[in-house]
């Protein structure tokens, strides 16, 4: 079974750092782009960026560039997203998703999703 | 920025047809993808490249296009179809990729 399993919910204080993970199984992890998507009540679903585990090629949505860092360790089929200094506005549900097939960097299917990682940043 | 507009809600009786629209200027040029999201769950792909159904998706889910509006149709709605539905596409230049629509809550009466 193809699946992505994400790390558990996090409660953090403003200014703290955080790294969440997304582990793939059931497919060749290195050969598919992994995207990260944030969901909040106010802004809905937002694409944040994507990484190709095979060579760690990374694309950020401009509004998230510098706010988060994407990485991957293909030896353990895991992608990561990290923050150096969290703010209250970083609270939300974060999903990783596999991008299906040949990527156009415009409109592509997110065909497998992780279960989500809830991040709550509060003082 | 680039926006994809959906109606906030659609209500339908069991067995009837639900139609969910998604509007955007670039839709004549870009593929649209549709996702279903049930409470407490991740989004789930139900239509890709405007009209195609992934393996395992019931035939009652279909997609269509007409100019700057695309439509997800659920024929013979069942109680289990109650969920939020999101469209996803991109602007015509590629400057705004992987844009999600505002979402539509489908309520089965």
Model confidence pLDDT, tens digit, residues B14-33: 999 999 999 999 999 999 99
Average pLDDT over residues B74-84: 98
State the pairing for strand pair A57-60/A69-73: unpaired
Please give the average per-residue pLDDT across B65-91, as a whole number.
97
- Chain B residues with CB under 8 Å of a chain A CB are 30-33, 35, 41-45, 48-49, 54, 86, 88-90, 94, 97-103
Provide the token pair at B28. 């004549």
Each of the 123 residues of chain A gets a pLDDT tens digit; together they read: 999 999 999 999 999 999 999 999 999 999 999 999 999 999 999 999 999 999 999 999 999 999 999 999 999 999 999 999 999 999 999 999 999 888 888 889 999 999 999 999 999
Question: Quick check: B72 pLDDT over 90?
Answer: yes
Output b/e per residue, A64-78; b: 16+ Cβ within 10 A: beebbbbebebeebb
How far B72 CA sits from the closest chain A CA (Å)?
A: 16
Q: What is the pLDDT of residue B105?
A: 98
**Does B94 have pLDDT greater than 90?**
no
């Amino acid at each position: 079974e193809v699946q992505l399993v994400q790390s558990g919910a996090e409660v953090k204080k403003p200014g703290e750092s955080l790294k969440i993970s997304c582990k793939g199984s059931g497919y060749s992890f290195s050969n598919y782009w992994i995207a990260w998507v944030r969901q909040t009540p106010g802004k809905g679903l937002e694409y944040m960026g994507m990484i190709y585990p095979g060579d760690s090629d990374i694309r950020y949505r401009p509004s998230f560039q510098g706010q988060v860092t994407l990485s991957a360790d293909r030896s353990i089929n895991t992608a990561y997203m990290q923050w150096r200094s969290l703010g209250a506005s970083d609270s939300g549900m974060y999903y990783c998703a596999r991008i299906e097939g040949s990527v156009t960097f415009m409109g592509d299917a997110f065909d497998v999703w992780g279960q989500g990682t809830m991040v709550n940043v509060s003082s | 920025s680039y926006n994809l507009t959906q109606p906030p809600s659609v209500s339908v009786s069991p067995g009837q047809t639900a139609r969910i629209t998604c509007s955007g200027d670039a839709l004549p040029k870009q593929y649209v993808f549709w996702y279903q999201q049930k409470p407490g769950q991740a989004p789930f792909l139900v239509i890709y490249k405007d009209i195609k159904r992934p393996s395992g998706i019931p035939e009652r889910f279909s997609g269509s296009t007409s100019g700057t509006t695309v439509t997800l149709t659920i024929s013979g709605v069942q109680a289990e179809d109650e969920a939020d539905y999101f469209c996803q596409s991109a602007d015509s230049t590629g400057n705004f990729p992987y844009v999600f629509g505002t979402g539509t809550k489908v309520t089965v009466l």
